[in-house]
Amino acid sequence: MRFRSARALIYSIINGKILYILLGVLLGLVMFEGLHILFLLFVLPMFGLECDKITVGFFSFRRVNGRWLKGDDKYAPFVRYTFTGNGSTDPSASHTRFILCRLLAKTFLSVIITVLSLPAWEAILAAPPPDELSFEPDTDWAVFAAFLCIISYFAVMGDVVALIRSAAGEKNTLGGYVQQITRALENGADPAGLDLRPLDEMQFPDEPSTTDTVTYLYYYGTHLLASGQAERLPEPMHKLTDILRSGEFMRNCVNSYAMLIYYYSWLEPDEEYARKFYDKAGTALATDTGAGTKRALAYYCYAVLHDPQKARYYLDRAYKTASAGENRFELVLIEELDDVLKNEGAR
At residue 249, φ and ψ (nearest 5 deg) are -65, 130
Q: Is residue 323 scored above 60 in pLDDT? A: yes
Least-confidence region, from 7-16, 174-183, 312-321: 7-16
Question: What is the Rg, in whole angstroms, of the alpha carbon atoms belonging to the chain?
Answer: 25
**In the 8-state DSSP scheme, what is residue 189?**
B
Amino acid type, 329? F
When comparing pLDDT for 129 and 151, which is higher?
A: 151
pLDDT one-digit tens code per residue, 330-342: 999 999 999 999 9
Residue 201 binned pLDDT confidence (cut-offs 50, 70, 90): confident
- CA count, 13 A, side-chain hemisphere, 259: 27
Amino acid type, 70? K
Instruction: Supply angle C-alpha 274, 329, 73, rounded to 5.
Output: 130
Q: What is the pLDDT of residue 330?
A: 92
d(CA 81, CA 299): 29
CB 261 within 8 A of CB 297: yes
Helix (H) or strand (E) holding 53: strand 49-57
Q: Is residue 21 scored above 50 in pLDDT? A: yes
d(CA 305, CA 148): 55
Q: What is the pLDDT of residue 262?
A: 97
Residue 240 binned pLDDT confidence (cut-offs 50, 70, 90): very high
Domains of the chain as residue ranges with CATH: 2-167 (no CATH), 196-346 (1.25.40)
Mean pLDDT of all residues belonging to the chain: 78
CB 240 within 8 A of CB 218: yes
Q: What is the pLDDT of residue 202?
A: 84
Q: Which of 250, 277, 249 is nearest to 263 (CA)?
A: 277
d(CA 262, CA 336): 13
d(CA 152, CA 108): 10
Q: Is residue 238 scored above 60 in pLDDT? A: yes
Q: Is residue 200 scored above 80 in pLDDT? A: yes
d(CA 321, CA 290): 7
CB 298 within 8 A of CB 333: no
Diameter over CA atoms, the chain: 80
Q: What is the pLDDT of residue 167?
A: 64
pLDDT one-digit tens code per residue, 57-78: 667 777 766 677 776 655 555 5
Residue 10 binned pLDDT confidence (cut-offs 50, 70, 90): low
- Taking residues 105-121, report their average pLDDT: 81
Residue 278 binned pLDDT confidence (cut-offs 50, 70, 90): very high
CB 30 within 8 A of CB 78: yes
In this prediction the pTM is 0.59
Q: Which of 345, 340, 254 is nearest to 294 (CA)?
A: 254
Question: Percentage of the chain with pLDDT > 70?
Answer: 71
pLDDT one-digit tens code per residue, 117-126: 787 777 666 6
**Which segments of 55-135 does DSSP mark as H helices, in order?**
91-116, 118-125
- CA count, 13 A, side-chain hemisphere, 268: 16
Q: What is the pLDDT of residue 87?
A: 42
Q: Is residue 129 scored above 50 in pLDDT? A: no
140-145 long-range CB contacts below 8 Å, 24 or more apart? 140/12, 140/17, 140/20, 143/8, 143/9, 143/12, 143/17, 143/21, 143/24, 144/21, 144/24, 144/27, 144/28, 144/120, 145/116, 145/117, 145/120
